[in-house]
Amino acid sequence: MRRQHRTKIVATLGPATASTEKIAELFDAGVDVFRLNFSHGSQDDHKANYEIIRELEYETGRPIAVLMDLQGPKLRIGAFADGAVKLTEGAPFRLDRDEAEGDQTRVCLPHPEIYQAIEPGTNLLLDDGRIRLKVEECDKDFAQCSVVIGGELSDRKGVNVPGVVLPLSPLTRKDQDDLRFGLDLGVDWVGLSFVQRPEDIAEARKLITTRAAICAKLEKPAAIERLEEIIELSDAVMVARGDLGVEMPPEDVPVLQKRIIRACRQTGKPVIVATQMLESMIDAPTPTRAEASDVATAVYDGADAVMLSAETAAGKYPVEAASMMNRIIERVERAPNYRRMIDADELEPEATAADAISAAARQVAHTLSATAIVTFTTSGSTTLRAARERPEVPIIGLTPNVKTARRLSVVWGVHTVHSSDARDFQDMVTKASHFAVADGFAQESDRIIITAGVPFGTPGATNVLRVTRVEVD
């Protein structure tokens, strides 16, 4: 099955889509990657959805990626004795480690790491920034604050500490348990929440090893300060605009989004743009014009994928949201100015054989009006370098490794195929021709461009470019 879009779609599963029928409908609507959000639902729920995805993969013959998204060290207040309270501007309010239910004057904040990091004058944001507190006095067990921006505050709302690097491990006990569970299931990607520094990636890598790829979620300003280092250690990056937009001025987020996408493209790492992309479709059958433009901007910027969250997890119109995102992507990618904008941001290849061949493949495909670039890859690196070039024609990624095939499902412009490796050059041409025709990318006598590493099966050894005409058996 050939997709028409180059920019991939990630959809979050939840109560609205936890069935064989809905997951199949999402896939048919254009979804390439399914996200299991471990902030919600039980492990049994996620296992059931995972098994449905793998059955769908078997039925369709198309590799499908599964992204498990860990909750991470999300900071939350405790509960209130009599329900929500009203905080008034200028009033005192205390956060402490007392587990007793709160009231209008105090509430439990059971995170000692916060008290270690804050000082008088520190701003605390509650409930996604709707309420702002200023620390007046603090110790290891409490923070006496004044209310800067008031409002209604209810149980278990999140807390953000902008501008402060918190001494938190990226993996809580819950995350470690979920991670073991997800890796045993066989997930392809692990979303690492609230990454602050490169060391967070290194810590997670020790546990994950090569069992899954790591997607660093950029939600903290501290991560931006060490952006290049984090990208280098990650396999992919997610622009998680929710928490990022809470801790930073809203006007900074679009600029950061472009910066992150550019940095990821420079290194050839996939980048996903997420959060509130079609938010209104949680309750409405159509998006706002601003939301459609938001998705389009990510596509124009060259993001590898865009993500739906609550729209497909808990919304009233999950399939419609996926279909709408697919239509926006396809419409933008057909626009005359799309190619001009992608080409205007052309990247210089690195001084490696893989990049030289990938850049040449892009140019040769254009000059000869080829219909596809076919990459033979074991680890995925050959295909990733080809995608970095953002060629005009689709990329068919052939790999004997099913894990690689699934992981590449998130990469811009790549149609992945799980296939045995080529034995020799003739077998390489035969396989490339077969899948180009079978999956609707070429017809007999069309030109295709092939890149591979010789000896075949050697990871990271891209050293061959072949121009051939399609041969049909």
Segment 96-113 shows an average pLDDT of 94
258 in catalytic set: no
132 in catalytic set: no
- Residue 413 is predicted with a pLDDT of 97
- Residue 463 is predicted with a pLDDT of 87
- Residue 248 is predicted with a pLDDT of 85
Segment 90-103 shows an average pLDDT of 96
Residues 361-402 have pLDDT tens digits of: 999 999 999 999 999 999 999 999 999 999 999 999 999 999
330 near 4, Cβ under 8 Å? yes
Residue in 12, 17, 122, 275 annotated catalytic? 275
Give the residue among 388, 385, 391 at the shortest CA–CA distance from 462. Answer: 385
Token pair for 101: 């239910």
Residue in 76, 226, 259, 262 annotated catalytic? 76
Domain spans, the chain: 8-73+170-333, 85-160, 353-469
| 457, pLDDT greater than 80 | no
CA angle 36, 294, 286 (to 5 degrees): 75
Q: Tell me the C-alpha distance between 455 and 65, whole Å.
A: 28
Give the residue among 54, 51, 62 at the shortest CA–CA distance from 28. Answer: 62
Indicate if the alpha-carbon torsion angle 270, 276, 280, 281 is positive or negative: positive
Convert 129-146 to b/e letters by CB count within 10 Å (16 or more is b).
bebbbbbeebeeebbbbe
Give the residue among 256, 238, 234 at the shortest CA–CA distance from 247. Answer: 256
Token pair for 351: 């001084």
20 in catalytic set: no
pTM, to two decimals: 0.92
Please indicate whether residue 169 or residue 137 has the higher confidence score (pLDDT): 137
Least confident of 98-107, 207-216, 461-470: 461-470
- Residue 47 is predicted with a pLDDT of 98
| 153, pLDDT greater than 90 | yes
| 89, pLDDT greater than 90 | yes
Task: Say how many Å lie between the first and final Cα of the chain, rounded.
Answer: 20
Average pLDDT, the chain: 94
Sequence-distant contacts of 47-50: CB under 8 A, at least 24 apart: 47/181, 47/185, 48/18, 49/13, 49/18, 49/23, 50/185, 50/186, 50/187
Fold annotation for 85-160: M1 Pyruvate Kinase; Domain 3 (2.40.33)
Residue in 6, 8, 217, 362 annotated catalytic? 217
- Residue 167 is predicted with a pLDDT of 83
Residues 239-270 have pLDDT tens digits of: 999 888 888 888 999 999 999 999 999 999 99
192 near 170, Cβ under 8 Å? yes
Give the residue among 165, 126, 119 at the shortest CA–CA distance from 143. Answer: 119
| 147, pLDDT greater than 90 | yes
What are the strands, taking DSSP E only, across 202-256?
213-218, 236-240
Residue 344 binned pLDDT confidence (cut-offs 50, 70, 90):
confident
Q: Look at residue 300 and give its three-state secondary structure.
A: helix
Token pair for 404: 């690689």
| 433, pLDDT greater than 90 | yes
463 near 445, Cβ under 8 Å? no
- Residue 176 is predicted with a pLDDT of 96
Residues 21-59 have pLDDT tens digits of: 999 999 999 999 999 999 999 999 999 999 999 999 999
Residues 6+ apart with CB under 8 A from 59: none
Residue 462 binned pLDDT confidence (cut-offs 50, 70, 90):
confident
| 346, pLDDT greater than 80 | no
CA angle 83, 314, 236 (to 5 degrees): 110
Residue in 6, 35, 241, 269 annotated catalytic? 35
Residue 472 binned pLDDT confidence (cut-offs 50, 70, 90):
confident
| CATH 3.40.50.300 fits domain 353-469 | no
107 near 120, Cβ under 8 Å? no
- Residue 367 is predicted with a pLDDT of 97
Token pair for 192: 């690492």
| 461, pLDDT greater than 80 | no
Residue 350 binned pLDDT confidence (cut-offs 50, 70, 90):
confident
Phi-psi region of 61 (alpha: psi -120 to 50; beta: other; left: phi over 0): left
Token pair for 85: 């309270």
Percent of the chain surpassing pLDDT 70: 100
134 in catalytic set: no
Token pair for 460: 């990271």
Q: Tell me the C-alpha distance between 389 and 98, whole Å.
A: 55
Q: Tell me the C-alpha distance between 313 and 26, whole Å.
A: 11
| 456, pLDDT greater than 90 | no
- Residue 261 is predicted with a pLDDT of 96
- Residue 129 is predicted with a pLDDT of 87
| 343, pLDDT greater than 80 | yes
Q: Tell me the residue length of the chain.
A: 473
Please indicate whether residue 421 or residue 108 has the higher confidence score (pLDDT): 108
Segment 437-441 shows an average pLDDT of 95
- Residue 249 is predicted with a pLDDT of 86
* Cα distances (angstroms) measured from residue 280 to each of 246, 275, 311, 317, 329: 19, 12, 8, 10, 18
CA angle 221, 342, 374 (to 5 degrees): 105
Fold annotation for 8-73+170-333: TIM Barrel (3.20.20)
Backbone angles phi, psi at 63, to 5 degrees: -60, 135
Q: Tell me the C-alpha distance between 24 and 321, whole Å.
A: 14
- Residue 381 is predicted with a pLDDT of 93
Segment 220-231 shows an average pLDDT of 93
